[in-house]
Amino acid sequence: MTRISGAGFATASAVAAFALLFTSGCTTKNYVRSQTEPVIQKTNELDDATAANNRAIHDVDTRAQAGIQQAQNSANQAQQSAQNATQAANGAQQSAQEAVNRADSLAGVIANLDNYKQVGDVSVTFGFNKSILTRADKDQLDQFGAQLGTTPNYILEVTGGTDSTGSKAYNYGLSDRRAMAVVQYLASKYNVPPHKFYLVGLGKDEEVASNATPAGRAKNRHVEVQLLSNAANSNAPTTQGTATPPSGSGAGAPSAQ
């Protein structure tokens, strides 16, 4: 039987304890590693997903901003086009107003007036304080305008009026707007040159019916167009003088008169 001294036993015990401690330490480290590695991996995956989401959000924001800018550019272009169209329309309207003839009567303005015969006429009425053509008005003007292409050497005498409501100056401007609404419709749809129109007697307060009744006032809110043809003359009508604004226009009349 082998005897172990006290010192040897102590040494052996120390070695055994160290071995046990080393083994326990390794086991603990492995356990900790096994528990933390999935967490670390999951954290890395979340970081990657967050970064990918941020990139996606940035891309969407960039595309959205580009789309908004493109839409804004398109809107600006459309607005500019609309403004250009409005300016062109206003310019055409102004040109038409300046080009048509205005006179108190055709006498002294049209040479050989007696040679002109009325071959057609049309009358349209307007609502109270209105100068816009209705669909029914346009239908009447279309029936009238259909004969313009086959009528030789014609002129159009345009007269307009209002009821007695309002001041004379205001009603003069209103009658002018109504007459010009008819002129512009016929000129644009049937290619009638402005110089063929003669706006006659605007603001003269010539009633076609009594203003004492609503029905009479409705009839006075009208524009009448007479088609006059000089079939005996192959040349276009000539003027004897310059058409001037009606003497009764008063203050407040449109500047083109």
CATH number of the domain to which 164 belongs: 3.30.1330.60
194, 175: one domain: yes
Q: Which of 64, 99, 134 corresponds to the end of one domain?
A: 99
201, 88: one domain: no
pLDDT at 32: 63
pLDDT at 180: 95
Instruction: Specify whether the CB–CB gap between 225 and 158 falls below 8 A.
Output: yes
- Tell me if 122 is assigned to some domain: yes
Based on the structure, what is the number of domains in the chain? 2
14, 113: one domain: no
Torsion sign (Cα): 141, 144, 147, 153: negative
pTM value is 0.54
Owning domain of residue 222: 101-229
19, 62: one domain: yes
- Tell me if 247 is assigned to some domain: no
Per-residue pLDDT 10s for the chain (257 aa) are 555 555 665 665 655 555 555 555 556 666 666 777 777 877 888 888 888 888 888 888 888 888 888 888 887 877 776 666 555 444 445 544 557 888 877 877 777 888 899 999 999 999 999 999 999 999 999 999 999 999 999 999 999 889 888 888 898 999 999 999 999 999 999 999 999 999 987 766 678 888 899 999 999 999 999 999 997 664 544 444 333 333 333 333 333 32
- In sequence order, what are the residues at sequence separation of 6 or more whose Cβ sits closer than 8 angstroms to the Cβ of residue 100? 180, 183, 194, 195, 197, 198, 199
- Tell me if 133 is assigned to some domain: yes
154, 39: one domain: no
